[in-house]
Chain A
Amino acid sequence: MQALEVSEKIKVGAVFENAKVTPKWFVRGTRKVVLQSVEFCWRSRTGEVPWMHFSATDGANVFELRFNLKTTEWFLEKILSA
């Protein structure tokens, strides 16, 4: 398995429903990646900044996304591939 640390700001399309956030797709550069499923999500804090982390897959690769609950910014953290 290969892991690529990215940590860059991205645009994300997400569904906000029943107090839950589910990322559906994101755009990195000119490429749009459609996410098939969110496998796991967890929370963290840096000082007063709360974050949601998502581990999601497009069927081939796994992407770690990070969502700032204060500023609503999204970041692509990591790309994991076989």
Chain B
Amino acid sequence: MVPGENPERVILHVDMNAYFASVEQKSNPLLRGKPLVVVADSRRRGVILTASYEARAFGIKTGMNLWEGKKLCPHVTVVDGNTDKYLHASAQILEILETFSHQVEMSSCDEAYLDVTASQTLFGTDGAGIAQMLKDKIRREIGLPCSVGVAPNKALAKMGSDRKKPDGLTVVTRDTVAEFMKDAPIQDMCGIGHRMRDKMNAVGIYTCGDLAKAQRGWVEHHFGFWGYWLKRLAEGKDDTPVKRINDPETVKSIGHSTTFPSDSWDLPILRSYLLLLSEKVAYRLRKMNLQGRTVSLYIRFNDFSGFGKQVAKKEPTDDGTEIYKVTEGILKGALPLMKSVRLFGVSVSNLVENPWQEFLLASLAKKKSANEAVDTINKKYGKFTVKPAGLLFAEKHGILAPPIPPYMNPRKEL
């Protein structure tokens, strides 16, 4: 047993199956049982966000371009994603999960961890029993399928929910960990992407069992401390706690990324995207009463290679212009661009709670008041009703749609 790890812990990982597609099939009976893909915007660059299981049977996968998906299944139905719909369903799912435990960590809009250790007494059943009750309740009240993994820790629970899809229930106990991990492909473990998988394969590690058996020194020699951490996971050891949704330390960074409608070299357009993303990140920071010291920019090029850099500021910020200045500096450092850009991601980390300190400098106080006034107006009339003038360029190029008055098209927030 790992020191500090509670041997009695029972963790559930809930994974909503093909979430966006399932919500679309639930809301539209005409789509049920049919191959369907959800894309961000079918009129622009169509990247498949998720595919229904019927579409997956044709080989369609998340992240494919729409044209690739249509090649595999010409009669596939294409649906534009609706964030409001998915977030509303997520909130309903969270409500249900919280009826089973107060320790719920939503790791994304369609995945959550629950620590049900204490709930077993309350419900008079073990983790598997609670998992089945939870699956039934989600199916009955929201009409969506999910897979659940039940295990002594988060890593194993996550692997468990991945094991049987859709609508699966996998239970891993301390006695069955070795058997469960033995033949599991190494890439099934959290933290192993295709690059790490290739590196592991290159030294003869193909399964979690292979990694678990390897000597610690040998693993550290090849993969450093990260290798040791992965070896522990392969042995089924993980003592990370389930963090409640309201725990302040849960939020480590705030970020936004966007894939462009078409790849671009054009610096004014790229700067507009940076400004837009910086403003979005700043708005969320202010909304959460946070400020951040470290600003990062990630650039993905047209060949999917990437460049990322982060810069630490002396003072934490929640101001869009400040964040933009830093990201623009990073972009300048990447010039001249040898390839066109496909995606930008802007994030702010090293977060601190906004201390609401008295600003000694008048210029900072003015900026704070201006941001507050803009946030108040935009909250009332919709996002980006008031915005930096630099975003007018973004609007002109279709990067940011102009604000539509509620009476004309109130369906979506911008």
Which residues from chain A sit less than 8 Å from chain B, CB to CB? 1, 7, 39-49, 51, 53, 55, 57, 62, 66, 68, 77, 80-82
Q: Is the CB of A49 within 8 A of B88?
A: no
Q: How far is the CB of A40 from chain B (nearest CB, A)?
A: 3
Q: Is the CB of A40 within 8 A of B410?
A: no
**Which segment, of B97-105, B177-185, B377-385, B392-400, faces chain A?**
B377-385
Q: Is the CB of B380 within 8 A of A48?
A: yes
A68 surroundings in chain B (CB, below 8 A): 410
5 closest A-B pairs by CB: A40-B27, A42-B88, A44-B84, A55-B27, A47-B382
Q: How far is the CB of A36 from chain B (nearest CB, A)?
A: 10
A7 surroundings in chain B (CB, below 8 A): 409, 411
Q: How far is the CB of A10 from chain B (nearest CB, A)?
A: 15
Q: A1-B77, A45-B413 are in contact. Are A39 and B379 (CB under 8 A)?
A: no
Count residues of B near A (Cβ-Cβ below 8 Å): 26
Could you name 19 residue pairs across A and B whose Cβ atoms are closer than 8 Å? A1-B30, A1-B31, A39-B143, A40-B27, A42-B82, A42-B84, A43-B84, A44-B84, A45-B413, A47-B381, A49-B406, A49-B410, A51-B410, A51-B411, A53-B85, A57-B29, A62-B29, A68-B410, A82-B30
Q: Is the CB of A44 within 8 A of B30?
A: no
B30 surroundings in chain A (CB, below 8 A): 1, 62, 80-82
Which of A40, A41, A42, A46 contacts B413, CB < 8 Å?
A46
Residue of B nearest to A52 (CB): B88
Cα distance A14–B412 in the bound complex, in angstroms = 23
* 8 Å CB interface, B60-84 against A: 77, 82, 84
A53 surroundings in chain B (CB, below 8 A): 84-85, 411
Q: How far is the CB of A71 from chain B (nearest CB, A)?
A: 9
B40 within 8 A of A: no
5 further contact pairs, Cβ within 8 A, besides A47-B413, A48-B379 = A40-B27, A40-B85, A44-B84, A62-B28, A81-B30
Q: A42-B84, A53-B85, A57-B29 are in contact. Are A47 and B411 (CB under 8 A)?
A: no
Chain B 26-37, CB-CB to A under 8 Å as 1, else 0, gives: 111111000000
Chain B 240-282, CB-CB to A under 8 Å as 1, else 0, gives: 0000000000000000000000000000000000000000000
Cα distance A82–B77 in the bound complex, in angstroms = 12
Looking at B85, B143, B410, the one whose CB has the most chain A CB atoms below 10 A away is B410
B382 surroundings in chain A (CB, below 8 A): 46-47
B189 surroundings in chain A (CB, below 8 A): none
B23 within 8 A of A: yes
Cα distance A47–B26 in the bound complex, in angstroms = 28
Residue of A nearest to B26 (CB): A40
B88 surroundings in chain A (CB, below 8 A): 41-44
Q: Is the CB of A39 within 8 A of B85?
A: no
B410 surroundings in chain A (CB, below 8 A): 46, 49, 51, 66, 68
B130 within 8 A of A: no
Cα distance A1–B30 in the bound complex, in angstroms = 7
B89 within 8 A of A: yes
Residue of B nearest to A43 (CB): B88
A1 surroundings in chain B (CB, below 8 A): 30-31, 77
Q: Is the CB of A44 within 8 A of B411?
A: yes
B27 surroundings in chain A (CB, below 8 A): 39-40, 55
Q: How far is the CB of B90 from chain A (nearest CB, A)?
A: 10
B85 surroundings in chain A (CB, below 8 A): 40, 42, 53
B411 surroundings in chain A (CB, below 8 A): 7, 44, 46, 51, 53, 66, 77
Cα distance A23–B413 in the bound complex, in angstroms = 24
B23 surroundings in chain A (CB, below 8 A): 40
B26 surroundings in chain A (CB, below 8 A): 39-40
B406 surroundings in chain A (CB, below 8 A): 46-47, 49
Cα distance A68–B406 in the bound complex, in angstroms = 10
Q: How far is the CB of B31 from chain A (nearest CB, A)?
A: 7
B77 surroundings in chain A (CB, below 8 A): 1
Which of B89, B143, B380 contacts A47, CB < 8 Å?
B380
* 8 Å CB interface, B331-387 against A: 378-382, 385
Q: Is the CB of A55 within 8 A of B413?
A: no
Q: How far is the CB of A15 from chain B (nearest CB, A)?
A: 19
A57 surroundings in chain B (CB, below 8 A): 29
A41 surroundings in chain B (CB, below 8 A): 88
